[in-house]
A and B are shown apart, each in its own frame.
Chain A
């Protein structure tokens, strides 16, 4: 079974630009979440999607947004990039168990975003 796939693996952008990251979950997983990982802050929750609906959002500015498609694939968008947005962005999926499921998350290998 293929794991969580994230594209692209590396991205270099300039301050003020916007970027879109893509995630394909494990087949059959309908819950997709996004995390930001930096050396100083560790892994921080961005948001999660289930059945094309955002059901939870972390403490990030509105420049960070996402969406989920009917095939469970998800995209994350960051507008007006800042230097501090440089990070590893990780996507995770989990089995369909509803809002209060307790299965582990399975992560992709991330997109390394560098903002110059």
Chain B
């Protein structure tokens, strides 16, 4: 069965304390892996797409990487405004474009 697992479930950091979120997947074939940020009461906001192992994407304090079995979202020197739930999702080979399988998310809190 195709599975996406995110860890940790929750992470509390001090402002400036860098860390990484993990998304591991067990799937039959990967077409793409997506990272989203979700704030309370809002829909997921797209951050990154990764398509193949070894690929990296960066945006401000965030950097996403992909291996054959997992993806990491590295947060460098986080600020309180980075507090949110971070979701990863995979698009599987053989499924049409809009069908994504999501992980449960990591709830990140950054204290000032």
| CA of A45 to CA of B89, assembled, Å | 11
| CA of A105 to CA of B38, assembled, Å | 13
List the B side residues contacting A22 at CB < 8 Å.
Answer: none
Is B65 engaged at the interface, CB distance under 8 Å to the other chain?
no
* Beta-carbon nearest neighbor of A9 in chain B: B41
List the A side residues contacting B97 at CB < 8 Å.
Answer: 31, 48, 94, 97-103
Interface residues of A in 4-51 (CB under 8 A from B): 4, 6, 31-33, 42-43, 45, 48, 50
Contact B99 A102 (CB under 8 A): no
Contact B95 A90 (CB under 8 A): no
Contact A105 B100 (CB under 8 A): yes
Contact B44 A90 (CB under 8 A): yes
How many B residues, CB 8 Å from partner?
A: 26
Contact A105 B98 (CB under 8 A): yes
* Beta-carbon nearest neighbor of B39 in chain A: A109
How distant is A3 from chain B, measured CB to nearest CB, in Å?
9
The one of B31, B51, B102 in contact with A42, judged by C-beta atoms closer than 8 angstroms, is: B102
Given A105-B98, A107-B43, list of 5 further CB < 8 A pairs? A43-B100, A48-B96, A102-B32, A103-B49, A110-B42
How many A residues, CB 8 Å from partner?
A: 30
Among A42, A48, A94, A99, max chain B CB count under 10 A is at A42
Is A92 engaged at the interface, CB distance under 8 Å to the other chain?
yes
Interface residues of B in 31-90 (CB under 8 A from A): 31-32, 34, 36, 41-46, 49, 51, 87, 89
Is A62 engaged at the interface, CB distance under 8 Å to the other chain?
no
Among A97, A101, A103, A105, max chain B CB count under 10 A is at A105
Is A67 engaged at the interface, CB distance under 8 Å to the other chain?
no
Report if A56-B42 is in contact (Cβ < 8 Å); known contacts: A42-B103, A42-B104, A102-B31: no
Contact B98 A56 (CB under 8 A): yes
- Mark each residue of chain B from 99 to 110: 1 if its CB lies under 8 Å from any CB of chain A, else 0: 111111100000
List the A side residues contacting B49 at CB < 8 Å.
Answer: 102-104
Report if A4-B43 is in contact (Cβ < 8 Å); known contacts: A55-B96, A102-B97: yes
